[in-house]
Structure 1
Amino acid sequence: MAVVKCAIELGIADVLESHQAAMTLDELSSALGCSPYSLFRIMRFLINRRIFKQVGGSDINTIAYAQTPLSRLLTRNGEKSMAALVLLESTPVMLSPWHGLRERVLANGPPAFDTHRGQDIWTYAKNNPAHSKLINDAMACDARFTVSAIMKGCPLVFEGIGTLVDVGGGDGTALRTLIKDCPWIRGINFDLPHVVSVAPHSHGVQHVGGNMFDSVPKADSAFIMKVLHDWGDEECISILKKCREAVPHDTGKVIIVEAVIDGGGHDSKLKDIALKIDMVMMAHTTTGKERTSKEWTFVLNQAGFTRYTVNHIHAAVYSVIEAYP
């Protein structure tokens, strides 16, 4: 992660993308203003990880570098960029809690993030606008990828929905991406006041500040993506109850996008990613976790839903759960 972070901060992918052709080591190091030999070593590592591609000779004097589909994810401003997520997770704020896992596991000790920062991650973000922006930017790039995957894999999920409230929607990226494909939807982006106060204006999206533990704005359907895994069962049930109350009892539904650890269609690589995210939840949240299908059944039943369906998103770690009041 540290080497990928270095590549993002240097702007290697951005320079190659703007050049629109392979670049020699001298050309790339000159454009970046860095040591040719140090850059050569960085690129040798990243090429071995299949992030960038080597073209031309293997000699340091003749070698040239080109983009790959993976390296294009590391551009800072690309539509499919995941750079913000890497930059967030590699900050000292997010890395330090990993050193507290032992204390967390021993006798169900204190949350790792709270131990290192003196407060939970959401309070820390509220009190530190720069870190809050890092979180919002990271969630935005992740939302673009996931919503696009949902539209490809489960396009019928949003048919017939007039108004949709995105619970914990951050800066509104998920709704903006969704409305491009579903222009008939009027979106309500719902998040904490300090989050929506800096969210950009977007046609078809209304920003509403509030607390999902108190109430959720009324809409035809509620959409909640990668929020419930931040919370334990008790909090998860409370949030789901508020979502259920926000939609019509006879025609509404709550659309949940989360990992299902033992979900159908998962190959070993995707399950590995889900289990890694579960470790992230242990390090960064107080009670959060990834859930199995049995655990999802429990929280949905406790929240009062009468039935639900689960659709796995092809080639993605997440599933779409449609829960009906």
Structure 2
Amino acid sequence: MGLDEEARARAEVWNYAFGYINCRVVKCAVELEIPDIVRKHAGAGAGGPVSLSELSSAVGVPTEPLHRIMRFLIHHRIFKTSPPPPHAESSSSDEVHYAATPLSGLLTRDNLAPFMLLQGTPPGPNRGITPEALRTGRRPDLKSVNGEDTWSVPDFGYHMKVFTDSMAAHARVATQAVIDNFPEGFEGIETLLDVGGRHGMALSMLVKAFPWLRGTVLDLPKIVDHAPPLEGIHFVGGSMFENIPNSNAVMLMWILHDWSDEACIDILKKCKDAIPKDTGKVMIVEAVIDEDGEGDEYAGARLSLDMVMMSVMVKGKERTYKEWAYLLEEAGFSRHNVVNIKTVVSVIEAYP
């Protein structure tokens, strides 16, 4: 290790020591709706950057701690300082002013803000990345369904709305990436079944983008019973471990990473049986880990997501291409391909 590398290591170790605070600060900013306020201010009237005092008044936080929070967020490129707008009063022209960045635009309520709130709200006090959990392969605070750890921890009811909003936020972002980068994947499909699609966020976007689709959401009765009615979407209460309704194509978005290999193979076999043998396909929207990660801007996010899955599910995980290929072959699919949709997840198409 050279001197430069040693110096970088001495600096980097402090980033790990204090790394937990990053998510906490971003969560706080999201809860205060700072990204939304900055964006709204830029678009209101004459618009432009918002001053510290204006932001303080909007969020109800004194200027001194708010300045420190914003300084931290600016360092991490979530906001940026900006010259005051031409119409600024002389009393505020000397104040620091804040403007949005591409990162802050992704942290608004209509984007990934709900997902950030979930990451700052863990579903239980005992995390999966502990010596005990790693040694035993189980978390003591998790219940079991079909022999698998589930999200049904004792205190998770409190976080259910946060979880539902978070999954909707992810579905919105991932589905838009699918629509923008892989529209040809839906050509020739008349009926699409979304397994574990909760309240139909992803499927409603797909039906709107591809009007020839008819969509069905399969999820647990306690989930679909509270789903609002959506045009072109039919909701079915049931378990993917028991029965999957027939459809031209089946979509699994962020479902299989919750489960062990054995459970995934079982689910995939049922999906294969539910589609036509000659024209059907299963579309898996999940991360594909590249262990080299050379030149991949999402490699770090995928590896972090794998640590998140380890911390909350133990048996759940993100998978490499080889691991996905193994599951699909064991489930009896004849061929598959992976489509890059320019985000943290990819589309894996599997054919009977």
TM (norm. structure 2) is 0.83
Structure 1 residue 163 displacement after superposition: 0.5
Unaligned runs of 5+ in 2: 1-22, 43-47, 85-91
Structure 1 residue 31 displacement after superposition: 1.6
Matched with 1:69 is: 102
Aligned residues: 314
User: Given the alignment of the two structures, is residue 17 of structure 1 paired with residue 46 of structure 2, yes or no?
Assistant: no
- CA RMSD, 1 decimal: 2.3
Q: 1:219 aligns with which of 210, 224, 247?
A: 247
Matched with 1:123 is: 152
- Do the aligned partners of 2:128 and 2:313 also contact (CA within 8 Å) in 1? no
TM (norm. structure 1) is 0.90
CA distance 1:266–1:138, change in 2 (3 Å): farther
CA distance 1:37–1:138, change in 2 (3 Å): same
CA distance 1:153–1:130, change in 2 (3 Å): same
Q: Which residue identity does 1:64 align to in structure 2?
A: H
User: Given the alignment of the two structures, is residue 53 of structure 1 paired with residue 76 of structure 2, yes or no?
Assistant: no
Structure 1 residue 128 displacement after superposition: 4.8
CA distance 1:202–1:129, change in 2 (3 Å): farther
SS in 2 for 1:93: coil
Structure 1 residue 319 displacement after superposition: 1.7
Structure 1 residue 98 displacement after superposition: 3.5
SS in 1 for 2:102: coil
| Partner Cα separation in structure 2 for residue 208 and residue 158 of structure 1 | 22
SS in 1 for 2:262: helix
Q: Which residue identity does 2:228 align to in structure 1?
A: P
Structure 1 residue 99 displacement after superposition: 6.9
Q: Which residue identity does 1:67 align to in structure 2?
A: A
| Partner Cα separation in structure 2 for residue 118 and residue 235 of structure 1 | 16
User: Given the alignment of the two structures, is residue 300 of structure 1 paired with residue 328 of structure 2, yes or no?
Assistant: yes
1:82-122 Cα deviation digits (max 9, x unpaired) = 1111111111435x34375221222x4423xxx24566443
User: Given the alignment of the two structures, is residue 103 of structure 1 paired with residue 136 of structure 2, yes or no?
Assistant: no
| Partner Cα separation in structure 2 for residue 99 and residue 160 of structure 1 | 43
Matched with 2:13 is: none
| Partner Cα separation in structure 2 for residue 147 and residue 6 of structure 1 | 27
Structure 1 residue 269 displacement after superposition: 3.3
- Do the aligned partners of 1:172 and 1:205 also contact (CA within 8 Å) in 2? yes
SS in 1 for 2:127: helix
| Partner Cα separation in structure 2 for residue 7 and residue 133 of structure 1 | 19
- Do the aligned partners of 1:56 and 1:64 also contact (CA within 8 Å) in 2? yes
Q: Which residue identity does 2:107 align to in structure 1?
A: L
CA distance 1:193–1:268, change in 2 (3 Å): same
User: Given the alignment of the two structures, is residue 199 of structure 1 paired with residue 199 of structure 2, yes or no?
Assistant: no
SS in 2 for 1:241: helix
Q: Which residue identity does 2:117 align to in structure 1?
A: L
| Partner Cα separation in structure 2 for residue 264 and residue 191 of structure 1 | 36
CA distance 1:265–1:40, change in 2 (3 Å): closer
- Do the aligned partners of 2:142 and 2:152 also contact (CA within 8 Å) in 1? no
| Partner Cα separation in structure 1 for residue 122 and residue 330 of structure 2 | 38
| Partner Cα separation in structure 2 for residue 243 and residue 152 of structure 1 | 25
Q: Which residue identity does 2:59 align to in structure 1?
A: L
Matched with 2:3 is: none
Matched with 1:84 is: 114
Matched with 2:88 is: none
- Do the aligned partners of 1:240 and 1:303 also contact (CA within 8 Å) in 2? yes
| Partner Cα separation in structure 2 for residue 239 and residue 255 of structure 1 | 13
CA distance 1:189–1:266, change in 2 (3 Å): farther
CA distance 1:186–1:263, change in 2 (3 Å): farther
| Partner Cα separation in structure 1 for residue 187 and residue 226 of structure 2 | 30
| Partner Cα separation in structure 2 for residue 263 and residue 164 of structure 1 | 32
SS in 1 for 2:123: helix
SS in 2 for 1:74: coil
| Partner Cα separation in structure 1 for residue 25 and residue 265 of structure 2 | 40
Query: 1:1-325 counterparts in 2 under 5 A?
Result: 1-20=23-42, 21-56=48-83, 61-76=94-109, 78=110, 81-93=111-123, 96-98=125-127, 100-106=129-135, 108-111=136-139, 115-116=140-141, 120-124=149-153, 128-262=156-290, 267-314=295-342, 316-325=343-352
SS in 2 for 1:50: coil
- Do the aligned partners of 1:25 and 1:60 also contact (CA within 8 Å) in 2? no
Matched with 2:7 is: none
